[in-house]
Chain A
Amino acid sequence: MVNEELKQDDSEYEEREQDDSKVLETALAAGHILLENGAEIARVEETMERICRHFGVESGNFFVLSNGIFATGSRKPDSPGGQYAKVQHIPVKGAQLDKVVAVNQLSREVAEGRYSLEQVQEKLEQIRRMPRKSFPVQILASGLGSACFCYLFGGSLADSLVAFAAGFLLYVFVLMVRESRISKITKNICGGALVTFLCILSYGLGLGDNLSHMVIGSIIPLVPGVAFTNGIRDIADGDYISGAVRLLDAILVFLCIAIGVGVTFIVYHRVFGGILL
């Protein structure tokens, strides 16, 4: 009798056990999407904990860094066996904020109890597959952004038109090398150099009035906005390691852009002589 009861308990327990690892798996998937697409560390941790708590896993523990998640959990802190543990490495990629918004919305709805675990998993899979903006749209946006910022920093309309073309071509380059294995450092130095070269070229052809304004406008699409703001917010939240890594990332990119611009000017100077500008 007692044995049977125990057995029953055991089978129920096993079922739960599986469920628990599924819950943790789901929480991890949500955290993965958030981290990859430019959410702050605090948000990643909070979302994962929220999902776990809602589905009854009390002892989920998460440690989130800017490029990895460590998760452990079990039904009860002192439950024997059946511990769940997983480490996931998440390389830094280009942010896609609509995915962060979608997961945030999902976690809100989960907390309201609208979904079963399977539905949540399905939704996460859908979010993971959300497409990026198409290449033409991204390239046009980069051109428009460059033109606007060129005008903003004091360029004339002619300057802005050149900046549009330079920003346009810059993003063609960026998209071409995005999936390649070239390091971020090289990519950004090349990006900065390309933009400067294009602007010097058009300036030499008599297009545009002020070389500086054209270059300033066109390098803006390279500026690492997401890394910069997130780094600051992580540090403000006390997540110093992740914040420092993200800020370092941003500073490195800034430096590389400057190197690219500078080197191109030096080469131009050496080849054609004369005073710059």
Chain B
Amino acid sequence: MRKVALRGLAGRKLRALLTALAIVLGVAMVSGTFVLTDTIDRAFNTIFERSYAGTDAVVRAGGSDIAYQGLTAELPGIPAELLEQVRAVPSVEVATGLVMDETSAKILDRKGKAVDTQGAPAFGFGVDPSPELSRFNPLNLVEGRWPTGGTEVVIDAGTADEQRFALGERVKVASLGPVREFEVVGIAQYSGVSSLGTATFAVFDVRTAQELFGREDEFDAISVAAKQGVDDEALVADLEEALPPTVAVQTGDERADEERGEVAEFTTFIRYFLLAFGGIALFVGAFVIFNTLSITVAQRTREFATLRTIGASRRQVLGSVVLEALVIGVLASVTGLLLGVALAYFLNWLFRVLGLDLPTTAMVFAPRTAVVALLVGVVVTLVAGLFPAVRATRVPAIAAVREGATLPGSRFARFTPYVAVALIAGAVSLLAFAMFADDLDTEPRLLSIAGGTLGLFLGVGLLSPKVVRPVAGLTHEPARWVVVVLQVVAYPVTLAFWLLRYAAFYADRPAGRRAGAAAWALAIVGAFSLLVALLGGGPVLALVPLVVPLTVIGMAVAARVSSFTPEWPLDFPDVRPAGATARVGRENARRAPGRTAATAAALMIGLALVTFVATLADGMKASNRDAIESQVRADYVVTSQDGYAPFVAAAGEAAARAPGIELSTDVRSDLATLAGSDRYLTGIEPGRIAQAYRFQWLDGSDAVLSRLGADGAILDKDFAEDKELAVGDRFTAVVPSGQERQLVVRGIYEPPPFYPLLGNASIAKETFDELYDRPRNQFTFVNVPGEPTEAAKQRLAEAVAAFPDAKVQTREEWIAFQDADFNQFLTMLYVLLALSVIVSLFGMVNTLVLSVFERTRELGMMRAVGMTRRQARRMIRHESVITALIGAALGLPLGIFLAMLVTRALSQFDVQFRVPLPLLLVFTVIAVLAGIAAAVLPARRAARLRVLEALHYE
């Protein structure tokens, strides 16, 4: 039996290959994710290990660790004279003071704009290059030397490379103050880390760094090394004893672990985020494998029956199908595992293109990656293959001698609709529970959502055979006409393709005519390229039409070196809609509803998720716009380049000095512990903010702003309710330096929940500046007299030009910028979801190839009674397009439904529900294109069947 299974598989290589491909991509995604995130992890680990490799203890400000929404507040500095006290401790061998700023050292490119770190750190270091202190320095000089004096800088190798800065050149660096110019005297990198991602660093001598980053006579930390024989804990104890209680002392290892932990959360998030897409692709792959094996089992009914007549037991039949699935699973998983390494590079590239560049080292391939990827791939394949395998055992021996024997239906088939309905009901309640239950941790919530969504897809998939007949009828006409429209659009390409093939393969035509055809084709291709270029497609897109001649060249080469024979003569391309052939194609789609439904269901999953994302995103964009429009009164908004990070306060002061402005007001922002919870605290200018920001007062009015004073605060509604604070109540604010301040609630307002621009509590700017060491602005709002004009914006931009991180935008531009940012993230989601659409595409090809194979004799008959090759191709294509449209007909509403559910669940954030109709149309066209693409190979096979052989085919 084992031999039968293996030989059978070997005899159906193409089918086995197509089946395996369905799972390869999912496995590749899983292994690629592990490789990529392991690599990022390793890079971060290397950074932290090297950073503290020679450090036995770290002295930092005591303060209070405040963290909210993934951000950690910056600690204040420690007095520089502490360094002498540290050095005086007997167990200390050496110690050095370190200045480090994570966000402010912006290196300017040659055009004078800050190098965009996309939210990654822009480190500024102050380093003492004395040789006895080199053990504390994690950086390696690639060339040059360490900086001395106030005009020298060392920059990171990544920036030097990208911006082509060489030794001796002048480079501008922005810090807390205005831009200053430095000479590049060295280029450095973290040892063992090949790329820092988009992060940059600039190294100065200690005194310069203190000056640039607001640390006059201060350090951010003191690194200490112990004398020989003193262990780290003893050193920490000695230091704690010698130093004032306002500082905290940790061992180097503790500090490294702490920093690593902060980052690990982030890489873990990325890992699960990407694994989710791998999981989706695997789930779709399971559908494809289930369907393919079901079809092949049905087609081999007589083979199984014959095996039964010669004495094979049910168990042996089961075993042979399971073995087939196992072999496919193992081959696919191994291939997927290897492909995953390549995919890791692709994902890294994708992240970089979309502005999420992460530090990397050499690719890390952990044993865990292989184990998990192989296990997942094999198990998914086996589970998907189990049901068809059981069906195979139901074949009775008598089927061997019966003409046209078919696979007996499953005993449970009549229960399917009930099971499906129960599954859908269960899935929807699980989703509702996940979304509306109050006290649920993130993990069970996410798992419930994933489980509910899978159940929903499975249930709809089980039910979908019922809708195949009516939906095939409904989509019949649209399918015909969409194909006609696409054919008209693509006509120049089709025509050029035909002409080139005429030139290449029509051997018995005169050379002159063939050359003419080639010339016409190239003219069309050239015109097309030119058009793309003129429409602003850019040089890469303009080269795309070259695919046509390259394909023909490829075909000619393939014909020379292999048994491939290009199909010629071919009919001159036309765009008429398919008639009778379309009807036969529609009936073909309907004749095995289970098969068509399973094929469509695989596509449905991808389309549903894409629709879900698009619908939700549209609603979020609308909510975002409304939130900003209802809050912002100002004509202009000054933000940092990325729009989210705070920017140096000096930029706000510069904006206030711009000529011709009516009003400028800063909004400071930082983390604080407010009434016991870590939250954002904002500092506002009481006399001005109301002209730039519209408060929806619940208790109070714009008048309370003037009464804020040194201890007044206004709260947003949610926070006030959460902490049960009313006007007149007192609460405590603790800032990172450890300072505490009693505040009195003076007013409560209700910001739009989707995007409140201010923190949970706001206090007067003067108070804020007393509490924070390096106050930074979240926004600076600016009004001009009359209507905002381009000239006014220009003046404003010039005023803040010395602060390259600051960006001036009108309110409308600001909204558009945020939309664009969000769209980038959406693009990434679409690319990742495209993976599962591609997997379902393999399923469509597979089903069609198997159907063509099964209907060989029918095709022969139709060809004999007058079906042309083109009609045969169109028949297959129509079946494919209808299948794809069934997928769309199921997937789009499902996606909208899911989005509706999530919108409801997020109602506390005021997310709107809007159906993006134009996008849905685009997705439908994409489904049609998928149908057309999936039909290419099967249609070619159908068209090239030899009529005679097909007629005699058993």
Instruction: Say whether A associates with B.
Output: no
